[in-house]
Amino acid sequence: PLRELAELRMLSLANNPVMARPHARLWCVWRMPALRILDFERVSMAERAEARRLFGSPEDMSALAKTILDVESTANTFVPGEGLDEPEVDLDKQQSIAELKARIRQEMAQVEAMEQFL
């Protein structure tokens, strides 16, 4: 997660759907205290104060912060291919593809010029 990048100073989440969520900018400011620029705009002291008001401190989080963190911790992480059944291997199809490739290689080896092949 981005919050683990303690030295992160600039971040752009422009056009990211997550930024349409309520308090998204303030959440980023609160979770990443070293952040200075978010979406090409300087993070203001007023935003930092508002983030603290909304979410509390890391030691004494507000109910809103706890709710968001609970959602974060139970959110699914996308793993490509996870949950998909392994496709059945069609051995006849694989064999015919292998034979076709071998035939093409054989024909290409006999061609002296590419014009002959085409």
DSSP state letters, 1-25: -GGG-TT--EE--TT-GGGGSTTHH
pTM for the whole structure? 0.58
**Confidence label for 104 from pLDDT (cuts 50, 70 and 90):** confident
Tens-place pLDDT, residues 61-98: 899 988 888 766 655 566 666 666 666 667 777 778 88
Using left for φ > 0, alpha for ψ between -120 and 50, and beta otherwise, residue 56 falls in left
pLDDT per residue as tens digits for the range 5-27? 878 999 999 889 989 988 999 99
The span from the CA of 97 to the CA of 24, in Å, is: 51
Q: Which two tokens stand for residue 12?
A: 């752009």
Residue 21: both structure tokens together: 């969520």
